[in-house]
Amino acid sequence: MGKGSGALGILMRARGAILIAGLLVALIVLSGSHRAFIVGILIFIVALLVSVMLHELGHFLTAKRFGMQVTQFFLGFGTTLWSFFRGETEYGVKALPFGGFVKITGMTRMEEIDVADEPRSFRRQPGWQRIIVLAAGSFMHFALAFFLLFVLAIGIGMAQNSNQISAITTCVPASAAALNSASPCAGAAPGRSPAEKAGLKPGDTIVSLAGQRVTSFNQLHTVLKGKQAGVPVPIVVVRNGHDLHLTVTLATVHKYDVPFLGMEPVPVYQRESFTGAVAFAGTQFGDTITSSASAIGQLPAAIPDLFAKDRAKTPAGDVSSVVGVGNVTGDVVAAAIPWQAKVSLVLFLIASLNIFVGAFNLLPLLPLDGGHLAVVIYERIRAWFNRLRHRPDPGLVDVQKLVPVSLLVFAVLVGFGTLLIAADIFNPVHLQV
């Protein structure tokens, strides 16, 4: 948000610089990529820009609502390309469209402002108003994420496996772990899967197994659980509008509790009601908050494995920079999966990113908004104790004393961010879809 003055002002502006660096590297990574992958990257960049501007809009609207002086609201950084004034605020576009900023007068006691502007400065407003303004950026991230999850549930729907065959597994995987991996046939013994041996094909719809009618994948799964591997059973499929009677001999997969057939179902999407979509968004929001906290906790442990060959199987596979998330978005768009699955995954990625950024931004560390929130809360607690002791309010915290700590935190964030970007370029983790 506001640019401030002195060292803290530099720190606040540096948030945009980090974003610029990440996006520029992402654009370099695009070189030579598949067209659909590039489209995915561009979708992610646009979504990230919208997210950043909504963050700043949260600060802007709440500051305006409380009568604070807001002098600038810009899209981008660097040289001003175009701007106009409406009242006391300058709105405009700068040369590098990689973020945005809002300048609120008097963000800290260090900033020198005109005496006439002091009553409307940020630092002179009640503590509860300053808290709302500081928290508004993260609130916008959370609101956007909740909205995207709601749209996903009510507009696209949740994927449910059908009894129609999408693909045939060509082998009998060596174990349940292999079956659920990206390469199920790696290390498998020679031989075809039961489905392939029986003559099943993609597009077939299974309507009966062992004489039991099935109309969904769940029903098929239930029937399979009651059968024994190695025993031939009749299976009926609909192919090109006609019933086809075949025989399949199920196989055994180590540590897999259901006899193995060897087919992938076609997903169908069922839209939620309004209340169901709200419940889904709330549940996913809570789960993502929990996983975000876990991811933050895993950051130190992830460092040694960022450049490991098996990064995806280590804690380092769960952390990423904007470049990594952009690459994953590109993988989703380029994948040979239904459009509903692509839209769902992209919306969920963007929602998850916003939840993570919103939560991370509330950490009580300067120069993050959470650090400024901690300072304001400390000021109010200190003032309350002084009132109990019949002493005057000590006023604003001398933020100048916190600058060394802020610089240290900033250096750590930049260093780790640079390391993540390098890892996502030279040792990327690709989404298997």
What tens digit of pLDDT does each residue of 239-260 get?
999 999 999 999 888 888 889 9
Q: Which two tokens stand for residue 169?
A: 């597994």
Q: Residue 304: inside a domain, yes or no? A: no
Tens of pLDDT, residues 386-411: 888 888 888 887 777 777 887 888 78
CA dihedral sign of residues 303, 306, 307, 309: positive
Are 41 and 107 members of one domain? Answer: yes
Of the residues 255, 270, 285, the one at which a domain ends: 270
Tell me which residue of 327, 313, 285 sits closest to 420, measured CA to CA.
327
Query: Looking at the predicted structure, is the pLDDT value of residue 308 above 70?
Result: yes
Question: Angle formed by the axes of helices 403-426 and 6-29, to 10°?
Answer: 0
Q: Which of 12-16, 104-108, 111-115 shows the lowest mean pLDDT across its residues?
A: 12-16
Cβ(264)–Cβ(167) under 8 Å?
A: yes
Q: Residue 277: inside a domain, yes or no? A: no
* Distance from chain centroid for Cα 172: 35
* Maximum mean pLDDT: which of 54-63, 369-378, 380-389, 410-419: 54-63
In the prediction, which pLDDT does 257 show?
83
In the prediction, which pLDDT does 5 show?
41
Query: Looking at the predicted structure, is the pLDDT value of residue 150 above 50?
Result: yes
Across 153-174, average pLDDT = 87
Across 23-39, average pLDDT = 59
Tens of pLDDT, residues 312-369: 777 777 777 777 787 788 878 877 777 888 888 899 989 998 998 898 889 888 878 8
Average pLDDT, the chain: 83
Q: Residue 239: inside a domain, yes or no? A: yes
In the prediction, which pLDDT does 329 show?
82
Are 147 and 17 members of one domain? Answer: yes
Are 100 and 36 members of one domain? Answer: yes
CA–CA separation, 104 and 281 (whole Å): 33
Across 177-182, average pLDDT = 75
Element (H, E) at 160: strand 158-168
Query: Looking at the predicted structure, is the pLDDT value of residue 428 above 90?
Result: no
DSSP letters, 176-213, are HHHHTSS-TTTTPPSS--HHHHHT--TT-EEEEETTEE
Tell me which residue of 254, 259, 257, 253 sits closest to 233, measured CA to CA.
259
Are 232 and 358 members of one domain? Answer: no
Q: Residue 95: inside a domain, yes or no? A: yes
Tens of pLDDT, residues 356-365: 889 888 988 8
In the prediction, which pLDDT does 19 show?
52
Are 143 and 28 members of one domain? Answer: yes
Q: Residue 106: inside a domain, yes or no? A: yes
Q: Which two tokens stand for residue 181?
A: 């991996």
Are 134 and 19 members of one domain? Answer: yes
Q: Residue 178: inside a domain, yes or no? A: yes
Q: Residue 289: inside a domain, yes or no? A: no
Q: Under 8 Å CB-to-CB from 290, ≥6 apart: which residues?
A: none
CA–CA separation, 51 and 70 (whole Å): 20
Are 193 and 72 members of one domain? Answer: no
Are 147 and 185 members of one domain? Answer: no
Are 47 and 143 members of one domain? Answer: yes
Of the residues 243, 270, 297, the one at which a domain ends: 270
Q: Which residue has the higher pLDDT, 41 or 217?
A: 217
Are 55 and 98 members of one domain? Answer: yes
Are 78 and 187 members of one domain? Answer: no
In the prediction, which pLDDT does 431 show?
64
Q: Residue 301: inside a domain, yes or no? A: no
In the prediction, which pLDDT does 245 show?
94
56 given a catalytic annotation? yes
Element (H, E) at 79: strand 70-86
Across 12-25, average pLDDT = 48
Burial 378-388 (b: 16+ CB within 10 A, else e): ebbeeeeeeee
Catalytic residue selected from 56, 196, 272, 379: 56
Query: Looking at the predicted structure, is the pLDDT value of residue 68 above 60?
Result: yes
* Distance from chain centroid for Cα 21: 19
Of the residues 224, 246, 270, the one at which a domain ends: 270
Query: Looking at the predicted structure, is the pLDDT value of residue 13 above 60?
Result: no
What is the extent of the structural domain holding 236?
Answer: 159-270
Residue 245 DSSP one-character state? E
Across 258-268, average pLDDT = 87
The number of distinct structural domains making up the chain is 2
The CATH number linked to 224 is 2.30.42.10
Are 24 and 115 members of one domain? Answer: yes
Across 119-146, average pLDDT = 94
Question: Is residue 119 very low, low, confident or very high in pLDDT (cuts 50, 70, 90)?
Answer: very high
